[in-house]
Amino acid sequence: MKKKAALFFAGLICIAGVLWGCDALDAFDWKKDTEEVNKEVDITVSETAIVWPSDRMGNLPKLGAKVAGIIGEDEAKCCSVIYEQCSQTDAQAYLAALKSLGYQNGMEFSDEEGIVLTGTDDSGNSVFFSYNTADGGGTVIYTPLGAAEAAD
């Protein structure tokens, strides 16, 4: 009997906690808080062609793929490119180009499912490259030296 009562009260406490937590979501001002984030991060997504952001990608070459979206952090000068419609041949050529630019000393993984490379060049700039063979999409992230300090 004591076990059932304890479980009952524990259940009530959990339900009360969940219901109280939902009220906290109501207090969140989605429009205001989203505007705050948008002041710091530039997000570009479009159904039409988006141009490769050469001015924000350091010395990284343009990838032979359709750019689906761009996320950039203005102060730190970081930039992420989300792409699609990339052939495996173009992805492998891009991997080779990144390595020839000196982006090494990170992680490299390649198999029939995809490619991943993280690396830093001699100047301290970093890159993350991913490619998915199933859909031909992935991400290229460029982070210049000192970006972490600039974001703080």
For residue 11, the model assigns a pLDDT of: 45
pLDDT (average), residues 45-56 = 81
Q: Is the model more confident about 61 or about 39? A: 61
87-109 per-position pLDDT tens digit: 999 999 999 999 999 999 899 99
Phi, psi of 115 (to 5 degrees): -135, 140
- The answer to whether residue 130 scores a pLDDT higher than 50 is yes
pLDDT (average), residues 1-29 = 44
For residue 74, the model assigns a pLDDT of: 73
User: Can you give the C-alpha Rg of the chain in angstroms?
Assistant: 22
* pTM for this prediction: 0.69
Position 46 confidence tier, pLDDT thresholds 50, 70, 90: low
* Residues 88/61, Cβ–Cβ less than 8 Å: no
For residue 132, the model assigns a pLDDT of: 96
Task: Please state, in angstroms and as integers, the Cα–Cα distance from residue 30 to each residue in 4, 34, 35, 131, following that order.
Answer: 41, 6, 8, 33
Pairwise CA distance, residues 69 & 51, whole Å? 10
Rounded mean pLDDT of the chain? 78
For residue 64, the model assigns a pLDDT of: 93
